[in-house]
């Protein structure tokens, strides 16, 4: 069967849909790189994209009915997706499941003060992630209907202060390996809080959940100028085992998040090799953007 790459970046305020098929190439939400859209008042979705909870922490219904733009050129094609997301795995809760050593190292790097710990408390985000499977159909006008079974990861975060301006950079690597291993490994840099935070987790093929103790990716030496690397590797430790991850990038669509385009997201389709085992997934890199939202997008409907 042809290999299908489908990845979705979703929030209530900035839905994004990107899709890649061998015969079509990369398909993008027609508004990209802008992500400010009209949302449903009583649903999780916007402009044809809808997420419906079916069973808490287990099942979601995903649908899309609308246009998508071919990456090479401005041609629009109509796309209908009818998908089900399901997971039997426990979710990873960053409030309770992070490795204590990784968190302690991040806090120990900073200059301590009453104000620092107050800010740490005020800017806290509740965040959880969960790997699962997507099944269903994708109909693309002119390219037929495709039945799909896809590895997937969902994430959800919220807090009193949800502001992308607090992030300087981050680089995450989400993937699934041929042996059933799944993972999300990365580094976050918050210039006003935790300058280096190593975090993530790995699920073994049997479903055991292990937090990342340390990650050897040095953000300062990888893409600090604004261009993420396309072929690189790093080590990390989880569950008492050391891993070496190699990453190669196949495509790098970009978009911006926030009323002022505060965040530039490079959502990269990736292949992985971890301790010799092949895999695939997403490498998501974030950069703080200071250029604002261009005026031409302010009048778009």
What pLDDT does 30 receive? 87
Any idea which residue has 């050391």 for tokens?
242
For the chain, residues with pLDDT lower than 50 are: 1-4, 11-12
What pLDDT does 2 receive? 44
The two three-digit tokens of residue 233, written as one number? 């590797």
pLDDT tens digits, one per residue of 16-45: 778 887 778 888 888 888 887 766 667 787
Q: What is the 3-state secondary structure (H, E, C) of 95-159?
A: CCCCCHHHHHHHHHCCCCCHHHHHHHHHCCCEEEEEEEEEEEEEEECCCEEEEEEEEEEEEEEEC
Q: Measured between alpha carbons, how far apart are the two ends of the chain, in Å? A: 39
Domain count, the chain: 1
Spatial separation of the C-alpha atoms in residues 87 and 106, rounded to whole Å = 31
Find, among 232, 162, 165, 172, the residue nearest to 199 by Cα: 172
Domain carrying residue 116? 5-298
Cβ contact 172:92 at 8 Å: no
Cβ contact 28:69 at 8 Å: yes
* 6 CB neighbour count, 10 Å cutoff: 19
pLDDT tens digits, one per residue of 195-233: 999 999 999 999 999 999 999 999 999 999 999 999 999
Q: Among positive and negative, which fits the CA dihedral 107, 121, 128, 61?
A: negative
Spatial separation of the C-alpha atoms in residues 48 and 39, rounded to whole Å = 10
Give 99's contacts (C-beta < 8 A, 6+ positions apart).
Answer: 199, 211, 212, 213
Spatial separation of the C-alpha atoms in residues 276 and 23, rounded to whole Å = 30
Spatial separation of the C-alpha atoms in residues 39 and 42, rounded to whole Å = 9
What pLDDT does 72 receive? 78
CATH of the domain at 135: 2.40.370.10
Q: In a 3-state reduction of DSSP, which class is residue 278?
A: strand
For the whole model, what pTM was predicted? 0.90
């Amino acid at each position: 069967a042809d290999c299908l790459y489908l990845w979705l970046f979703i929030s209530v305020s900035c839905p994004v849909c990107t899709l890649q098929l061998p015969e079509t190439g990369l398909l993008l939400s027609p508004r990209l790189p802008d992500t400010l859209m009209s949302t449903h008042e009583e649903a999780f979705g916007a402009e044809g994209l809808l997420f419906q909870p079916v069973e808490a922490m287990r099942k979601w219904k995903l649908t899309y009915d609308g246009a998508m733009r071919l990456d090479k050129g401005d041609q629009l094609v109509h796309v209908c997706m009818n998908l089900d997301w399901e997971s039997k795995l426990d979710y990873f809760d960053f409030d309770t499941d992070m490795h204590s050593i990784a968190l302690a190292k991040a806090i120990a790097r900073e200059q301590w003060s009453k104000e620092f710990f107050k800010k740490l408390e005020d800017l806290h985000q509740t965040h959880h992630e969960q790997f699962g499977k997507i099944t269903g159909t994708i109909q693309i006008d002119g390219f037929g209907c495709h039945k799909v079974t896809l590895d997937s990861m969902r994430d959800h975060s919220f807090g009193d202060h949800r502001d992308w301006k607090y992030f300087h950079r981050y680089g995450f690597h989400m993937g699934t390996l041929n042996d059933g291993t799944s993972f999300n490994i990365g580094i976050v840099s918050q210039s006003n809080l935790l300058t280096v935070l190593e975090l993530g987790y790995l699920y073994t093929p049997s479903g055991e959940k292990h937090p990342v103790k340390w990650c050897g990716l040095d953000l300062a030496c990888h893409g600090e100028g604004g261009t993420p690397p396309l072929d690189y590797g790093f080590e990390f430790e989880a569950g008492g085992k050391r891993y070496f991850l190699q990453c190669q990038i196949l495509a790098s669509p970009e978009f911006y998040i926030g009323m002022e385009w505060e965040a530039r997201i490079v959502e990269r389709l990736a292949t992985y090799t971890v301790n010799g085992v092949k895999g695939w997934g997403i490498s998501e890199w974030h950069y703080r953007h200071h250029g604002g939202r261009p005026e031409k997008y302010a009048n778009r409907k």
